[in-house]
Structure 1
Amino acid sequence: MRNSSVGKSSGVYRAQADINVTPLVDVMLVLLIIFMVTAPMLTAGLHVNLPQAKAAQKLDPKPPVVLTYGKDGTVELDGQSYRVEQIAEAVEAKLGDDRTQPIHLRADRDAAYGDVVGLMDVLAAHGLTRLAVLTGPAGKSEPPRPDKTTAGAPAPRP
């Protein structure tokens, strides 16, 4: 006698008709981790020793426009004080038609953050977007300013 279930699977194991996605996901996650680890290493530039040229001339970049923002809210450009509303016109007059010249903003560390952002917003509203905020070197701070608590006291030794 022949078994009537010749074409069918018998027992616990049956043929699976769909694809098992779990190994595929595992392999993809491993590859993702490998690429995440190696990608920062690939972006490093090549170090070269540049040759020297006698006929080369240095570029003459234009000096930047330097704005100084004090903690009391005064804005200075070339030694003249301006209100925040007036500074954009003064900067535009200094730049002329050359909008590629950078604008450096030196803001006092004690100035209100919102006021400095307001100044940057006024400049950006007038199309002055080549703006750099200047900072001091790391680890070096200015000497303490005399105030009512330290007035008349001897200066601390470095």
Structure 2
Amino acid sequence: MAISDRRADDFEECSEINLTPFIDVILVLLIITMIAAQASSVAQPVDLPRSGAKPVAADARPVVVTVRADRTLVVNDRPVSRPGLRRALITAGLRRDDRVLLAADRSLSYAMVMDALDALRDAGYTRVALVGRERER
């Protein structure tokens, strides 16, 4: 152990930046943002079927049309009638060349899902992606 000539009160001023508190704050903000993004996503009580397809990148502001088990249509948490579907999609800020996400309850028949697709096509929207849950591995 070496003995120093310096006294404890002779410290030099340190001009380095301590990044540890800055990184801690950034990580906390990242976690808060991740939790808030999950809480703000559109979630309807729909029992989706499972799919083995690879997930695709989501649009910046996706518009989700949900067909519930009782055959009601919902556009981003707002119930709509079939005749009012076009107006609801335009109100949601969707253009005709944008992609529409269609989530249908798994208890619905194929014909009911096709009715929802027909309603979207009648409203002028042909770019439709089906929403499903990932298969458990």
TM-score computed with the length of structure 2 as normaliser:
0.51
* SS of residue in 1 equivalent to 2:64: strand
Instruction: Look up the match of 2:68.
Output: 70
Instruction: Look up the match of 1:113.
Output: 110
Aligned residue among 80, 85, 88 for 2:86: 88
Structure 2: stretches of 5+ with no match in the other structure = 1-58
CA distance in 2, matches of 1:109, 1:91: 23
Note if contact 1:66-1:103 (Cα within 8 Å) is conserved in structure 2.
yes
CA distance in 1, matches of 2:86, 2:111: 18
Instruction: Look up the match of 2:45.
Output: none
Note if contact 2:103-2:132 (Cα within 8 Å) is conserved in structure 1.
yes
* SS of residue in 2 equivalent to 1:95: coil
* SS of residue in 1 equivalent to 2:116: helix
Note if contact 2:63-2:100 (Cα within 8 Å) is conserved in structure 1.
yes
Structure 1: stretches of 5+ with no match in the other structure = 1-60, 141-158
Letter in 1 for 2:70: D
* SS of residue in 2 equivalent to 1:118: helix
Q: 1:72, CA displacement in angstroms? A: 0.7
Q: 1:81, CA displacement in angstroms? A: 1.0
- Of the structure 1 ranges 80-89 and 118-127, higher mean CA displacement relative to structure 2 is found in 80-89
Say what the alpha-carbon RMSD is for the aligned residues: 2.2
* SS of residue in 1 equivalent to 2:69: coil
Which structure has more relative contact order (CA 8 Å, sep 6+)? It is 2
Q: 1:134, CA displacement in angstroms? A: 0.7
CA distance in 2, matches of 1:126, 1:75: 13
Bigger Cα Rg: 1
1:5-154 alignment to 2 at 5 Å? 61-95=59-93, 98-139=95-136
CA distance in 1, matches of 2:127, 2:93: 12
Q: 1:112/1:88 Cα in 2 relative to 1: closer, same or farther (>3 Å)?
A: farther
- How far does the alpha carbon of each residue in 1:41-77 deviate from its partner, in whole angstroms, 9 at most, with x for none? xxxxxxxxxxxxxxxxxxxx53111111111101111
Letter in 1 for 2:97: T
Identity of aligned residues (%): 25
CA distance in 1, matches of 2:61, 2:90: 15
